[in-house]
Structure 1
C-alpha cells in the first residue's frame, strides 16, 4: 500500500491532505475543497486527476505543438497570444479559458489570462479577483496602479480583468491600443490567453483574434450549428488569424 493510502486508511490524513502534499512534492497547483467552493469551474485546479483535467492537459499539449514558436519545423518563430472564440453565448468559452490558463501555469511559465469580453465579463468572478479597474481603462488611455492581478493559490497565473464595462467595446478592441498592449504583454509573459465575446454579439471576437494572431474555437456539443462554425472560421481566415483548432465542449 502506498504511504498516502495507508495514512488515509488509518485516519491520519484525508484525501485532500494527501493531494496537497503531492502538489507540494511535485510542484503543481492544487486548490482543494476550499477553492472548489469559491471557484467550482476550475476543474484543473480542484480535481487535477479527473477526466476533465486530463482533457485540458491533452488540449494544452495540442495547442503548444501547433502554436509555440519553433515547435514545428518551418513554423514562424514569432510569439503570439491565443484568442478563444465561440459562435454562441453559453458555449463554455470562459470556462475553457480559465482551465486552459491554469493548465498552462502548471507547466511553470508565467501565464496571463486577459478578459477581453467587454460585453459580459466573468473571469474576475471565476478567479475571485478585484475588477474595479482593468482592460477597458487601459484601452481608454487611463493608467494608474497595476491592473494585472495575481491569482491566489495558483503560482505563475495572472488575470487582467475587464474593469468597468464600456459602452463602445468594439471600438476599443479595434483601436491600436489593444494590439500595442498585447505586444507588451507577450514580452513579459510566456503564455497569453484572451477571452472574447461570442460571435453572436458582433465582431469583437474576430477583431481580438486578429490582434492575437491565433484563435481557438469552442463550441457546445449538440447545440452549435455547422453553418455558424463555418462562418466563424471564414471570418477568422479573412483577418489572417491562424485557427489552431475547434474544441467541442461537453461540460
Structure 2
C-alpha cells in the first residue's frame, strides 16, 4: 500500500502519519521539480508514487520498503546500514513472505497462548535436533511480537550452544547462567537495537552443569517474575537430542512450540518429543515446519 500523491503541495503535515511520498522525498532530499516529475509519471502510468520514483531513478526499492516500514511502524534496517544479522529477516525484509509467515504464526499464538483468557505463560521453542532453526525462529518471532507494542523478552536458555547474543549483537559476559547460579550480576537484559519493545537476555557464561541450573527453583521463580514485567516471554532451548534441558525449560515456561525442519526431522523423534512435553505438563501451542 503505497499512498498516492496528487500535487507536490499536498504533502501530509509533520506530526501525522505521513504518506509514502512524504517519506521518500525526505529520505532522498528530493527537490520540488523532482517531486513534480514523479507525480507526472505517476499520473501518466497509473502507478504508485514509490514505483514512479524507482522508475525515474530517483529512489531505490530499498527506499520504498524503508518508507513503508516507517508508515506502518515496522522495524527495518536499510541497505548500507545493516550491521544487523542477516537471519533477522523480519527487520531486513519486513514485507517479504517469510516475515508474513512469522506474523501469521504470531496471530495463532495470540489466540492460543497469549490470549487474555489464558493463564500467563512463557513460550519455549523446542525441536528434536541441531540445525532445526530454533534461534532463528525465536529471534524473528520476538521481533514480530514486539511490533504489537507490548514489551517482549527473548531469553536464551540454550546453555549448549547459545546464539541469540550473536543475532542481536549484545554482550554475553553475564546473563541467565549468572542469575541461576546466584551471582549478583548487572546488565543481564539488553534492549534490541532499533527494535522498540524488544529485549534480549543472553546465556552469559556457559555453565558446566546446565541441567542442574535449570532444575533449580530459581528458574521457575525467574520466569514468573519476568511474566510480571513483560507482555511476552519467548525462550530458546537446546535440541532435545542434547538431553532433558528442553523438556525442563518447557515445563517451567508453561507452554511449548515445537519446531520441525522440512526434509530433516524424523517422525519418531518428533513424536517422542511431543510425548515428553505432554508428560512435562507444558501446553502444546502447535508444530511449525521450518522450510528456511
TM-score by length of 2: 0.81
TM-aligned CA deviation for residue 186 of structure 1: 0.7
CA RMSD of aligned residues (A): 1.3
Contact 1:39 1:127 in 2 (8 A): yes
Consecutive unaligned residues of structure 1, counting only runs of 5 or more, are 72-76
2:132 pairs with 91, 95, 103, which one? Answer: 91
> Which runs of structure 1 show a deviation greater than 3 angstroms over 4 or more consecutive aligned residues?
34-38
Q: Which residue of 2 aligns with 1:168?
A: 209
Mapped pair 1:152 → 2:193 = yes
| Alignment deviations for residues 156-205 of structure 1 (CA, whole Å, 9 cap, x no partner) | 11100001100000011110111111111111111100000000000000
TM-aligned CA deviation for residue 94 of structure 1: 0.8
Q: Which residue of 2 aligns with 1:50?
A: 96
Contact 1:43 1:99 in 2 (8 A): yes
SS in 1 for 2:271: helix
TM-aligned CA deviation for residue 63 of structure 1: 1.3
- Structure number with higher relative contact order (C-alpha < 8 Å, ≥ 6 residues apart): 1
Q: Which residue of 2 aligns with 1:187?
A: 228
Q: Which residue of 2 aligns with 1:80?
A: 121
Mapped pair 1:111 → 2:157 = no
Q: Distance in 2 between matches of 1:170 and 1:211?
A: 13
Contact 1:35 1:46 in 2 (8 A): no
TM-aligned CA deviation for residue 35 of structure 1: 6.0
Q: Which residue of 2 aligns with 1:41?
A: 87
| Alignment deviations for residues 106-153 of structure 1 (CA, whole Å, 9 cap, x no partner) | 111111000000111001001111111111001111123221001111
Mapped pair 1:30 → 2:71 = no
1:221 pairs with 241, 258, 262, which one? Answer: 262
Q: Distance in 2 between matches of 1:249 and 1:34?
A: 29
CA gap 1:35/1:110 in 2 versus in 1, 3 angstroms:
farther
TM-aligned CA deviation for residue 18 of structure 1: 2.2
For the pair shown, the structure with the greater C-alpha radius of gyration is 2
| Alignment deviations for residues 9-37 of structure 1 (CA, whole Å, 9 cap, x no partner) | 22222222222222222212112324656
Mapped pair 1:121 → 2:167 = no
Contact 2:74 2:94 in 1 (8 A): no
SS in 2 for 1:114: strand
